[in-house]
Amino acid sequence: MNLKEENISPLNIGLVIPVFNEVESIDIFLEKISSIFANQPHITVELIFINDGSTDSTLEKLISRQIHNKNIKIIDLSRNFGKEAALSAGLQFSKNDVAIPIDVDLQDPPELILEMIAKWREGYEVVLGRRINRDVDSWAKRRSASFFYRIHNKISNLQIPENVGDFRLMDRKVVEALKELPESHRFMKGLFAWVGFRTAYVDYVRPERAAGTTKFNGWKLWNFALEGITSFSTDPLRIWTYVGFFISSLSFIWAIFIAIRVIIDGVDMPGYASLMVAVTFLGGLQLIGIGVIGEYLGRTYIESKRRPVYLIRHTYDKKADQWI
């Protein structure tokens, strides 16, 4: 796609790029971006890298590349706050016409950005990159992701598009709306969906990582799913009302049955095994219910502290002495 036309107005885009121990991917990513936009004189690309507490030489690599590319901005966080916080930091510093969160591993194909821009010029304020094939992911990851989307969209009034990650184009007004959201615990996919705006899709096949290794594992994905469900739905709390009513009803029916049997057959001695099963079953249900309540209470406790989502150690900007 060639956007080089005389009647097209200049566009300034900001690529929001969280990085954590991605030193192997940076050069490959920069070369790819350079090749895509080399013939797009109407488009200015600002690369906003957020170093999320990397322990390798990611920061040093970025600083060295910034010497030759003044459009590279670097936000160095004081420690690893997680991808959601890093995304929030990048969007907070984006002053561009449109912002595009993208991973440096090239699993979000940068060439799709031109298609996204075309959709944006048609009047869409959000353009989502939708994965139509995820064969590069493991079977367990694909199935768990599908299960999460089904459960979340079933119990929440907020519908999150399936097979859509953070890779998307957002108009300036969308970014400004996101900046107004004060949550400390941030589930960005949910926040992106919550603000709404006119939305279009660009489909693509998810490729392999260009370099490096994934930073997510099963435990992190599980906690990420819990964050998503508890951030936008109270149904996990409400369901225990129905579970308690159901168990109480069964207990009442069972008590009537025992009373009738005692009247007819006389007093008998209940078995130890059945008593232990009942006690452990009910005890387990109570602990699960307390655990669900604890998830919400813990999030309320953390939100009440009003701590910042992230802390910045330093910013690097060749265009200005101080980047605000």
pLDDT band, very low/low/confident/very high, at 49 (cuts 50, 70, 90): very high
Q: Is pTM, for the whole model, over 0.75?
A: no
Name the average pLDDT for the chain: 76
Distance CA 290, CA 272 (A): 27
Closest CA to 290 of 227, 237, 230, 219: 237
Higher pLDDT, 268 or 23: 23
Between CA 159 and CA 152 the distance in angstroms is 8
Cα–Cα nearest to 57, from 13, 14, 9, 24 = 24
* C-alpha dihedral (244, 156, 181, 195), degrees to nearest 10: -170
Distance of CA 6 to the CA centre of its chain: 38
Q: Is the Cβ–Cβ distance between 42 and 8 less than 8 Å? A: yes
pLDDT band at 84 (very low <50, low <70, confident <90, very high): confident
Which whole number is the average pLDDT over 1-30? 78
Confidence of residue 47 (pLDDT cuts 50, 70, 90): very high
Please report the sign of the dihedral spanned by the C-alpha atoms of residue 95, residue 96, residue 101, residue 105.
negative
- What pLDDT score was predicted for residue 100? 92
Alpha helices in 196-271 (DSSP H): 218-232, 235-265
Tokens, residue 70 = 């003044």
pLDDT of 312: 87
Q: Report the pLDDT averaged over residues 150-168.
A: 72
Q: What dihedral do alpha carbons 156, 160, 163, 164 form, nearest 10°?
A: -160
pLDDT for position 15: 93
pLDDT above 90 covers what percent of the chain?
6
Q: Spelled out in words, what is the top-level CATH class assigned to the domain 11-217+307-317?
A: alpha beta
Q: Which helix (H) or strand (E) holds 83?
A: helix 83-93
Q: Which range has the worst mean pLDDT, 170-184, 210-224, 250-264?
A: 210-224
- Spell out the domain ranges in the chain: 11-217+307-317, 235-305
Per the listing, tokens 């579970």 go with 243
